[in-house]
Amino acid sequence: MNLSPQWIDELRSRITLSGVIGRTVRILKAGREFKACCPFHGEKTPSFTINDEKGFYHCFGCGAHGDVIRWMTEQRGLSFMDAIKELAEEAGMEVPAPDPRAAERAQKQAGLHDAMAAAQSFFMKQLEGPEGGTARAYLATRGFRADIIEQFGFGYAPEGRQAMKQALTALPEALLIEGGLRITVDGKEPYDRFRGRLMLPIQDARGRVIAFGGRILDKTKTDAPKYLNSPDTPLFDKGRTLYNQHRASPASRQSGRIIVVEGYMDVIALANAGFPDAVAPLGTALTETQIEMLWRMVETPILCFDGDAAGQRAAMRAITRALPLLRPAHSLRIVRMPPGQDPDELIKAQGPQAMEAALAGAQSLLDTLWAHERDALPTDTPEAKAGLKARLMAHVDTIADKDIKSLYRSELLERFSAYAFPRRDNGGGRGASPSSPQRAWQPPRSGGRFGRDYVPETPHPRTAAMAARPAPWRAAALDAVVGGLIRNPSVLSAQIEPLARLAGEDPRIDLLVDAAMDGEFLRQGLDPEAMETILRSRGFMPPAQEPVKGMGFTFLHGDDEAAHAQLVDVIGILTERPLVEAALALASVGAELSDAAWQEQQRLLQQLNDVQKRELDLKARLGQMLSRGSGADDASGGMKS
């Protein structure tokens, strides 16, 4: 459906944003705006502002930002079109129908929604009637509270093959068949799909009934499936639906998490125990669409499948489907339930606190992937070890994001090397006796040979001034970084933390970091022109397009993915070494180290060596250009005098 910008603007103008947000959040008037505690993250001091004149909200704590449509999709969990329809109904506007066929489909769906609502009422009445005794007895054995039974809409489908048809005489049979409530077989009379089952409604993101799930109650019926769901219909696509999404999405705003379990009975058991933020797929492995739906609610959903072999296979299927979709800050965490237990059984055996502990101990996607492949097959031969490496790299190759792929490859290869080639001695290296303690790496002694490394406690003022001034190659690199940030503003917001470490060396970077964290600039949006204006307002001239002739950095000329990656790499070279050296110094405390501490020290030494090599490459590249250019004193030509 194509909605014109004019129509969208008219819709926004007819809706008062504070009125919509105020229905679910307590807001307070503050001048021309409203304030509230942010619903997207927990806080005690209000940092969430609503501006009706400009038509947007913004949180200075977590950065949540958007208009009334964004509020409906992010906070309410609605799809874009569902948000548009709900707001249009409130504003008294009609959503334009793109063509007669779409209008016909919408009318048919409206009829199906009526049929689903009527069927839900029928099932609930049957649960309360004489035939619902068996279902009520089963619910009593599950220990569900009365409010949970009412909230989730439990019902009962009687045994009769024509019970629903006889009860819903006002609805055409064709509508019941299309909605998956009745089954038609060539040459035979249609009959009810659900018979003798405890019934649950399956709802969409707006809370409308779109399908049903039923659990068989007669244990002697071994020829029927234990759980039966509606088939796919014009309303229901099981691969695009998450059970309980309409309740879990608002709850996740408070808890900051979404728990994904195997089935709807697990969801209800968790809600009964005080975990309202759980959802479940519907009879299929977690699909790519469902993973994206989860990421719209939280960045790292928690998968909590059963502790049996089938549950672990379901977790691995979800992981393999998630790998190609991974993007910065979005991943999965996985809980390994005790063998043979599902969430309901764990809670009944050990209480809700055991479930909280299991969720707190959820493993990362990478940890789960490594453990699964490591334990999948024996690795007692070189060929088997090579097979483990090949399986790991095959997973890595499916990751689309280049940065994440590189990080996964590096981490998994490091783990593989430590696993496949373990240290064979307990001493400090080749030739050491097994009982000899490992010696810690020590930094060079002060003084050195003939005292050449001696550093006086109070340096000469001229020496101190020279030390505070960046080396020519580093000044040139900082100039390039400033120019790159101006042309690639998105990198500035993504690299706030490392750039803040450079702010003391270059006041221009300090200004740009402050701007990226300022609410007013966030509202207006940072672009190259705005960033140049920020520098000029403080007396700084923006760097030339190429501060030192021949630099050849792509980020000085473009703003594509390759330019972003190269700019991030240069920022890393300028900031990583002090962090690695500090970690190495901390790891080297004490004269003797355990085996694990020694290995960590060696890893940090290798990391320091890698950083130094990258730094030397950058020094050589910039040093050659500076020697051919205008000299070291001109490297920071963009700085004010």
pLDDT digits 0-9 by tens, 173-195: 999 999 999 999 887 889 999 99
Tens of pLDDT, residue by residue over 531-580, are 888 888 888 887 776 655 556 688 888 778 888 888 888 898 888 887 77
Bigger pLDDT: 580 or 627? 580
Return the structure tokens found at 348.
Answer: 């009944």
**Measuring CA to CA, which residue among 220, 55, 202, 240 is closest to residue 117?**
202
Mean residue pLDDT across the chain? 82
The band of 428, judged by pLDDT with boundaries at 50, 70 and 90, is very low
Average pLDDT of the residues in 168-173? 89
Pairing of strands 197-203, 155-157: antiparallel
- Strand-by-strand arrangement of the 227-229 sheet: 155-157, 197-203, 209-216, 227-229
Q: Would you say domain 109-236 falls under CATH 1.10.3720.10? A: no
pLDDT over 90 at 411, yes or no: yes
Residue 463: per-residue pLDDT: 47
Separation between Cα atoms, residue 172 and residue 170, nearest integer Å: 7
The band of 311, judged by pLDDT with boundaries at 50, 70 and 90, is confident
Cα–Cα distances in angstroms (integers) from residue 53 to residues 13, 49, 56, 57, 302, in the given order: 9, 12, 8, 11, 39
Q: What are the E-state strand segments in 77-196?
A: 155-157, 182-183, 191-192
Cα–Cα distances in angstroms (integers) from residue 457 to residues 286, 446, 454, 460, 464, in the given order: 63, 12, 9, 10, 11
Average pLDDT of the residues in 237-258? 90
The band of 267, judged by pLDDT with boundaries at 50, 70 and 90, is very high
How far is C-alpha 273 from the geometric centre of its chain's CA atoms?
A: 25
Average pLDDT of the residues in 337-346? 87
pLDDT over 70 at 22, yes or no: yes
Residue 117: per-residue pLDDT: 94
Tens of pLDDT, residue by residue over 575-598, are 888 777 777 776 665 545 566 667
The band of 423, judged by pLDDT with boundaries at 50, 70 and 90, is low
pLDDT over 70 at 617, yes or no: yes
Residue 488: per-residue pLDDT: 85
Fold of 247-373: Dna Topoisomerase Vi A Subunit; Chain: A, domain 2 (3.40.1360)
The band of 518, judged by pLDDT with boundaries at 50, 70 and 90, is low
Separation between Cα atoms, residue 378 and residue 178, nearest integer Å: 51
pLDDT over 80 at 216, yes or no: yes
Average pLDDT of the residues in 58-74? 89
List the chain domain ranges. 5-91, 109-236, 247-373, 459-634
Tens of pLDDT, residue by residue over 115-146, are 999 999 999 999 999 999 999 999 999 999 99
Match 């959503």 to its residue by tokens: 95
Q: For residue 117, what is the enclosing H or E element?
A: helix 100-128
Helix H, strand E, coil C: the string for 34-56 is EEECCCCCCCCCCCEEEECCCCE
Residue 201: per-residue pLDDT: 97
Degrees, nearest 5: CA angle 332-335-338: 165
Average pLDDT of the residues in 50-77? 87
Residue 388: per-residue pLDDT: 94
Q: Do residues 611 and 577 make contact, with C-beta atoms less than 8 angstroms apart?
A: yes
Return the structure tokens found at 546.
Answer: 């190429």
Q: Count, in order, helices (H) and strands (E) of the chain.
A: 27, 18
Return the structure tokens found at 589.
Answer: 């405390």
Q: Do residues 515 and 521 make contact, with C-beta atoms less than 8 angstroms apart?
A: yes
Q: Do residues 28 and 36 make contact, with C-beta atoms less than 8 angstroms apart?
A: yes
Tens of pLDDT, residue by residue over 449-496, are 334 444 444 555 544 444 456 677 788 888 888 888 888 888 887 787
Return the structure tokens found at 410.
Answer: 């590096």
Q: Position 186: which residue type? A: D
Return the structure tokens found at 489.
Answer: 């503003």
Q: Do residues 281 and 301 make contact, with C-beta atoms less than 8 angstroms apart?
A: no
Separation between Cα atoms, residue 109 and residue 175, nearest integer Å: 10
Give me the percent of the chain exceeding a pLDDT of 70. 82
Separation between Cα atoms, residue 534 and residue 512, nearest integer Å: 8
- Which CATH class, in words, describes the domain spanning 5-91? alpha beta
